[in-house]
Amino acid sequence: MNYIKIIRNTVLTLAAAFVIFFSPVHENEASAASYSIEELDKITSKYMGVRYSYGGTTSNGFDCSGYVRQVFKELGITSLDRTSSDMYAQGTTVKKSDLQPGDLVFFNTSGNRVSHVGIYIGSGKFAHASTSKGVIKTSINDKYYWANKYVGAKRIANFQTNSQIAALEDDSDVDNTPETDTE
């Protein structure tokens, strides 16, 4: 009887390992890949001035999460959830002092835990769809409103300058010639 249990458990373990090992990797989701800060800036800027529209997900009108999802979608990241509160459950937590361009910043604007999201773009600013002004860039430390509403930040992807990305991809100093056996 014990022999059958051992065989069954071994087969189940091997089957689970097989499934995990051969599971497809979703290339459209954030990973260790680096995304361009310049491309992020270009995409966030192209929507400046687009009006706010509750539930909006297009350039005809965005709400905050619709705007964030559109920017990330154009960068090739399609794994973001639809609402700001659901987005807050994704990614890696980042301290405010460690914010980098591309990090998502979250705010409590309605009394609920998280009700607004934007994209940190550097220099203490974030891009977002404001209910009163549409898509704009705002200081994250605005003492009259945003500083007091800040909840936290999440890193969904790594962003670097184009030159940093090029340096990572440059393997000109790597010797890829095959080894020869000199024995």
Has 64 been annotated as catalytic?
Answer: yes
Q: Is 116 a catalytic residue?
A: yes
Q: Choosing from 69, 125, 128, 155, which is the catalytic residue?
A: 128
DSSP state of 96: G
Cα-to-chain-centroid distance, residue 38: 15
Residue 71's DSSP bridge partners are none
Q: Give residue 117's pLDDT band: very low, low, confident or very high (50, 70, 90).
A: very high
Q: Is the Cβ–Cβ distance between 138 and 126 less than 8 Å?
A: yes
Assigned domain for 104 exists: yes
Task: Out of 36, 62, 116, 155, pick the active-site residue.
Answer: 116
Between 86-95, 115-124, 132-141, 161-170, the lowest mean confidence (pLDDT) is in 161-170
pLDDT of residue 23: 46
> Which domain CATH number covers 94?
3.90.1720.10
For residue 134, pLDDT beyond 50: yes
Percentage of the chain exceeding pLDDT 70 = 77
For residue 26, indicate whether it is catalytic: no
- Within a domain: residue 128? yes
Whether residue 26 lies inside any domain: the answer is no
Q: Give me the domain span that covers residue 88.
A: 34-158
How many structural domains are present in the chain? 1
pLDDT at 26: 40
**Radius of gyration (C-alpha) of the chain in whole angstroms:** 22
Catalytic site residue from 40, 43, 64, 119: 64
DSSP 35-91: EEHHHHHHHHHHTTTPPB-TT-EETTEE-HHHHHHHHHHHHT-----SSHHHHTTSS
Q: Which residue has the higher pLDDT, 166 or 175?
A: 166
End-to-end CA, the chain: 55
- Asked if 152 and 28 count as a contact pair (C-beta separation under 8 A), the reply is no
CA distance 24 to 70: 25
pTM over 0.85: no
Structural domain includes residue 28: no
Residue 102 maps to a domain: yes
